[in-house]
Structure 1
Amino acid sequence: MATCFVIQPFDSGKYDKRFQDIYKPAIEAAGLEAYRVDQDPRVLVPIESIEKGIRQAAICLADITADNPNVWYELGYAFASDRPVVMVCSEERTGKKYPFDIQHRSIIPYSADAPSDFDRLRESLTAKLKAIIERNEVLDQIAESDPVTPIEGLTQVEVLVLAVIAGEAYMPNNAVAVNGAKRDAERAGVTNMGFNLAVRKLTTKKFVRVEELWDERDGESYNGLAVDEDGWKWIEANESMFVLHRQDKKKEEDIPF
């Protein structure tokens, strides 16, 4: 089973409880194995096991509420290893700016005031993890197509970039950060130049639009990308090429294709 590497403080307290009560169930509901290096009896050299675990993980989940040096190191290593990362942050983190490297990245905020807050966080995490898995399956499927033959008027790279932007949006009109979309496209094999050219062509065709987004945490604006109405119409007309749902992986050797 694919793993989700969990990055958080180990405190024998509230963070360990959140792992057991929230993160682990949410990860398992998404069809992944929740992995924490401190709970692996096979680990002899923690730092080597941490780096290996991150590299081999399908996704990493990081709680960045506390300014914990181990959390920042592991999160930085996950970014450097080009792993998909889901970040969560409690409202307990007040009056603190995020490090520059994670500004403008998607972060799921959560409250820790009542059990219902944790229920919402658990549901949000499962939905986000499933969305990333499904998006990656779509990108793998598109990447295996003929890179030369146009797909209903779009090149393979244009389809990949369109799928990345659409897959990241929670709602049809939502925009996603340009840098985040570029990282996801690069993970699917698109070069920096390929991404820039695809965005230019998609905006010319009015499949994608550029929006200015606002980061309330840092009081700064940044560029975002959103799928326009014509882009959604193209996706709907060609939905057979996209993975729209996942089969339950009840068998040990289930493979998503």
Structure 2
Amino acid sequence: MTSELAQSVEVGSAEERPFCFFITPLGPDLGPVRSRSDDILELIISPVMSAFNLDVVRADQIGQPGRITAQVIGAIVSAEVVVADLTGANANVYYELGVAHSLGRPVISMVDKVRSLAFDIAHDRAIVLGDDGQVSLAQGKKAEGELRTFVEAVVEGRYQPRSVVTEGAAVASVDELAGSDPVLAGISQVQSELGELQRKLSELEPSGLSTDSGDLERFRDLIATLFLRGIVDEATLRNELVDGRTSQSHDEWLEGLLA
């Protein structure tokens, strides 16, 4: 989406087209931070979103008077998908990311290098852009391909956004009762172990699982047993085991289990 078109966007209006909201550090006009954001917007995000008939809006492109914070939150609420560049651990970016997560919006994260991620989201999957300053052509093409996969999952409904608010409330309510109820104590333990399992699986490279390995099958058998016994529910499995980077075969396996 060009800057000229973005300037005309009125977030929340009845006439607006579906759009992606881009959370990013901005910095001064013509500065290196703004230049990098412009490159990511024009070379990576816009071509992908255009393929899915989505415009792209950035905070400085919202064409409305009024308080920018309220407008940004409104854009996050209205967006079909949110892309967040977490490079530099910018406070405003993390604030807006927190809003998106708390509202359960579909979020796709980008970062210069994985070790730059804050502790709370260090296990979330992110598109790595590289830490060479400006994004190279090769890095841009790689990131564009990964972003396209994520967005396709969102558009097709295969991405289940998670809300840390509702998840936290659910876990807290179970934990509070677990001390007096052995069944809930077991559920609380399963929730914790599922989260750890998802984290470990997300760290595995595709080459780390050979086709003749029984490891994945053992994990799946355990998950199926927990589900069929009613120890873990459908919503928990979808939230913990499916996102924009999981494979089609994995997603199909889970859908078959839950059918």
TM-score bracket, shorter-length normalisation: 0.5 to 0.7
1:53 aligned to which of 75, 88, 100: 75
What is the CA distance between 1:99 and its match in structure 2?
2.1
Contact 2:18 2:54 survives alignment (8 Å): yes
Partner of 1:107: 126
SS in 2 for 1:13: helix
What is the CA distance between 1:135 and its match in structure 2?
2.3
Q: Can you list the C-alpha shifts for 1:200-242, whole angstroms capped at 9, x where unaligned?
A: 22599xxx9xxxxxxxxxxxxxx96889x89957868x9xx9x
State how many pairs are aligned: 167
Change (3 A) 1:224 1:42: closer
Letter in 2 for 1:70: N
Q: Unmatched 5+ residue regions in structure 1? A: 140-168, 178-196, 209-222, 242-257
Aligned equivalents of 2:201 and 2:21: distance in 1?
Answer: 27
Aligned equivalents of 2:65 and 2:101: distance in 1?
Answer: 23
Aligned equivalents of 2:102 and 2:141: distance in 1?
Answer: 31
Contact 1:30 1:126 survives alignment (8 Å): no
Contact 1:27 1:34 survives alignment (8 Å): yes
Contact 1:6 1:34 survives alignment (8 Å): yes
1:69 equivalent to 2:87? Answer no
Partner of 1:158: none
Partner of 1:132: 154
Aligned equivalents of 2:252 and 2:150: distance in 1?
Answer: 20
1:90 aligned to which of 95, 105, 112: 112
Partner of 2:227: 201
Change (3 A) 1:76 1:232: closer
Partner of 2:25: 9
TM-score, length-scaled by structure 2? 0.52
1:37 equivalent to 2:53? Answer no
Please state which structure has a larger fraction of its residues in helix.
2
Letter in 1 for 2:37: Y
What is the CA distance between 1:30 and its match in structure 2?
2.8
Match runs of 1:120-159 below 5 Å: 120-136=142-158
What is the CA distance between 1:106 and its match in structure 2?
1.3
Name the stretch that deviates more: 121-130 or 72-81. Answer: 121-130
Change (3 A) 1:201 1:60: same
1:21 equivalent to 2:37? Answer no
Change (3 A) 1:46 1:200: same
What is the CA distance between 1:13 and its match in structure 2?
1.7
| Greater radius of gyration (CA) | 2
TM-score, length-scaled by structure 1? 0.53
Q: Can you list the C-alpha shifts for 1:113-154, whole angstroms capped at 9, x where unaligned?
A: 631221111121122111122125999xxxxxxxxxxxxxxx
Q: Unmatched 5+ residue regions in structure 2? A: 1-16, 28-33, 162-197, 204-222, 235-239
Contact 2:22 2:84 survives alignment (8 Å): yes
What is the CA distance between 1:33 and its match in structure 2?
1.6
Aligned equivalents of 2:48 and 2:241: distance in 1?
Answer: 28
Aligned equivalents of 1:233 and 1:29: distance in 2?
Answer: 28
Q: Can you list the C-alpha shifts for 1:187-211, whole angstroms capped at 9, x where unaligned?
A: xxxxxxxxxx98822599xxx9xxx
Q: Can you list the C-alpha shifts for 1:27-51, whole angstroms capped at 9, x where unaligned?
A: 2223322111211222421001001
Contact 2:106 2:160 survives alignment (8 Å): no
Contact 1:30 1:127 survives alignment (8 Å): no
